[in-house]
Structure 1
Amino acid sequence: MNEITKAPDHTVVNLQEEYNKTDIQHIIDNLEADLVGLKPVKARIREIAALLLIDRLRKTLGMEAGNPGLHMSFTGSPGTGKTLVALKMADILYKLGYIRKGHLLEVTRDDLVGQYIGHTAPKTKEVLKKAMGGVLFIDEAYYLYKPDNERDYGSEAIEILLQVMENQRDDLVVILAGYKDRMDVFYESNPGLASRIANHVHFPDYSPVELLSIAKMMLEEQQYKLTPEAENILLDYIQIRMEQPLFANARSVKNALDRARMRQANRIFETSADLVLTKTDLVTLLPEDLLKSRLFANR
Structure 2
Amino acid sequence: MNLTIKKENKDKIFDEETLVNIQEEYKKTKIQEVLYQLDKELIGLAPVKNRIKEIAALLLIDKLRTQLGLPQASPGLHMSFTGSPGTGKTTVATKMADILNLLGYIKKGHLLTVTRDDLVGQYIGHTAPKTKEVLKRAMGGVLFIDEAYYLYKPDNERDYGSEAIEILLQVMENQRNDLVVILAGYKDKMDRFYQSNPGLSSRITNHVDFPDYTAEELLNIAILMMEEQQYQLTEEAKNTLLEYIKRRMSQPHFANARSIRNAIDRARMRQANRIFNLHNRVLTKKDLVTIEAEDILKSSLFMDK
What range is the shorter-chain TM-score in? over 0.9
1:46 counterpart residue number? 53
2:135 to 128, 132, 142: 128
Segments of 5+ residues of structure 1 without an aligned counterpart are: none
Letter in 2 for 1:132: M
- Shift in alpha-carbon separation, 1:298–1:176, aligned structure 2, 3 A: farther
CA-to-partner distance for each residue in 1:82-128, whole Å, 9 max, x for gaps? 00000000000000000000000000000000000000000000000
CA distance in 1, matches of 2:256, 2:244: 12
TM-score under structure 2 length normalisation:
0.96
Name the CA distance, whole Å, in 1 between partners of 2:304 and 2:165.
45
**Which among 274, 282, 301 is matched to residue 295 of structure 1?**
301
Whole-angstrom distance in 2 between the partners of 1:78 and 1:57: 37
Partner residue, 2:268:
261
Report how far residue 253 of structure 1 moved. Answer: 0.4
1:273, distance to aligned residue in structure 2 (A): 2.8
Letter in 1 for 2:187: K
Between the aligned partners of 1:278 and 1:193, the Cα distance in structure 2 is 58
Q: Deviations over 1:178-225 (max 9, x none)?
A: 000000000000000000000000000000000000000000000001
Q: Which amino acid is the alignment partner of residue 43 of structure 1?
A: N
The count of corresponding residues between Structure 1 and Structure 2 is 297
C-alpha distance in 1, partners of 2:280/2:98?
51
The residue number in structure 2 matching 1:84 is: 91
Partner Cα distance (2:9, 2:97) in 1: 29
Report the secondary structure of 2:203's partner residue. Answer: coil
Q: Distance in 1 between matches of 2:170 and 2:279?
A: 64
Counterpart amino acid of 2:17?
H
CA contact (8 A) 2:86 2:257 kept: yes
Is contact 1:72–1:199 with CA below 8 Å preserved after alignment? yes
> For 1:3 and 1:280, how far apart are their aligned partners in 2?
67
Partners of 2:169 and 2:221 in 1: CA distance: 37
CA contact (8 A) 2:8 2:69 kept: no
Matched residue, 1:67: 74
Identify the match of residue 230 of structure 2 among 215, 223, 227. Answer: 223
Q: In the alignment, residue 287 of structure 2 is paired with which amino acid?
A: D
1:113 aligns with 2:123: no
TM-fit CA distance, 1:10: 2.0
Quote the residue 2:30 is aligned against.
23
For residues 257 and 15 of structure 1, the distance between their equivalents in structure 2, rounded to whole angstroms, comes to: 44
Corresponding residue of 1:150: 157
Question: Quick one: which amino acid aligns to residue 209 of structure 2?
Answer: H
CA–CA distance in structure 2, aligned partners of residues 31 and 244 of structure 1: 29
Superposed displacement of residue 296, structure 1: 1.0
| Stretches of structure 2 lacking an aligned partner (at least 5 in a row) | 1-6
The separation in 2 between residues aligned to 1:154 and 1:117, in whole angstroms, is: 11
Task: Show the 5 A alignment for 1:194-205.
Answer: 194-205=201-212
Which of 183, 192, 196 pairs up with 2:190? Answer: 183
CA RMSD of aligned residues (A): 1.1
